[in-house]
Structure 1
């Protein structure tokens, strides 16, 4: 009787459809850039990206249609990537951590976290890079980093299944998520300190997004009814 009640209480599988929609949007926007002619691609880059100096200037102007369009670049930039390696890397992390986060917090809250925290991470990057002019900043890394931070805050003791190379063979192992995230975070920190700001990558946005994601998870933990308890790792 108890076992049947536990099975009834367990949540059924729900497809992470907003994770899917956002991923398809990233692929579509990036493919249009990568497959376009030079002049078309440059216009596409200008439309979806943001330039740090423009963001700072927009905050100094009264709220107009023009300034709102500039600030909107903080969010639209999350969908564009300038090469397939950058895109596929972000998608791999997005899916590795995003499925559990969307199931735990719900579809619309997941999208809200990705875009709001990703945009805030991009704003932090703009403040860091505001003296560099004519530098288009793009990429989903700020939003993906935020989702990784939310995952760590919600599931600090969860293990992740990974295929690890052992000689000529691959061995499946369950590794504590905190070790996977810790190695990722260390790389982001090293790149932020030693890696130059480049076309398409703002490393400071990665760290800001991650910190914002952890903070958001802490707030979700204390807010009643915001997390599906069956998915939360207490």
Structure 2
């Protein structure tokens, strides 16, 4: 069941989405300009490790100190290359800003961080090969996209497209843009720089978390909209 949310303009300060984009950009810029050994060490330190929760010493043993659990969060801020980062930034801006307009910045921030962490947890549980690194904000972006679709199932979004020698502003169905996003994930999985390295479980679980988050939060979002409209 989808949530019906009005799409007319609702004045609000949207800082969470730009802040997240800035942090993701700065972290990758800093890492990519370091020596390769430093960049690889950062990925190894912040990336989430696969292998599930059942370590060789028994259930939860390898997670007892909390380090592997923290990696589920820090992995969101590490990306393999610029293409990996830019793909996430573009769709975070496209779907994050309008979602934040009705959800508010704090709820959007929680959605991104918790949704991304849950998506990474699902990924490390699914991948059987131990000690592989899961990195990137794709699961968190998937959560934002899932929430947006649940809030605005029939919405159209304005995007700027290069048409010939000019940039044109067009309005496209959100479902079409989500389809383009999914197609890009397939491209990067099979012919892109991340060949064979796309964690589909992170996308699916992040998207499902986002839809559930919208359904659970619908009353809180409705109350927020009523307060902003003064009734």
Shorter-chain TM-score tier: 0.7 to 0.9
Superposed displacement of residue 167, structure 1: 5.7
Contact 1:33 1:82 in 2 (8 A): no
Structure 2 unmatched runs, 5+? 1-7
Of stretches 98-107 and 186-195 in structure 1, the one that deviates more from structure 2 is 186-195
Show the counterpart of 1:150: 147
Q: Report the TM-score when normalising by structure 2.
A: 0.80
Contact 1:188 1:206 in 2 (8 A): no
Matches of 2:186 and 2:207, distance apart in 1: 11
Superposed displacement of residue 159, structure 1: 0.8
Show the counterpart of 2:218: 221
Contact 2:151 2:214 in 1 (8 A): yes
Show the counterpart of 1:12: 11
User: Which residue, 50, 53, 78 being the options, matches 2:51?
Assistant: 53
Structure 1 pair 190/32, CA: closer, same or farther in 2 (3 Å)? closer
Superposed displacement of residue 91, structure 1: 0.4
Structure 1 unmatched runs, 5+? 1-8
SS at 2:169 equivalent: strand
SS at 1:82 equivalent: coil
Superposed displacement of residue 173, structure 1: 2.4
Show the counterpart of 1:94: 92
Show the counterpart of 2:4: none
Contact 2:103 2:221 in 1 (8 A): no
Show the counterpart of 2:101: 103
User: Which residue, 68, 88, 112 being the options, matches 1:114?
Assistant: 112
Contact 2:88 2:141 in 1 (8 A): yes
Superposed displacement of residue 188, structure 1: 4.3
* Structure 1 or 2: more helix by fraction: 1
Contact 2:54 2:61 in 1 (8 A): no
SS at 2:171 equivalent: strand
Task: Figure out how many residues of one structure are paired with residues of the other and give that number.
Answer: 217
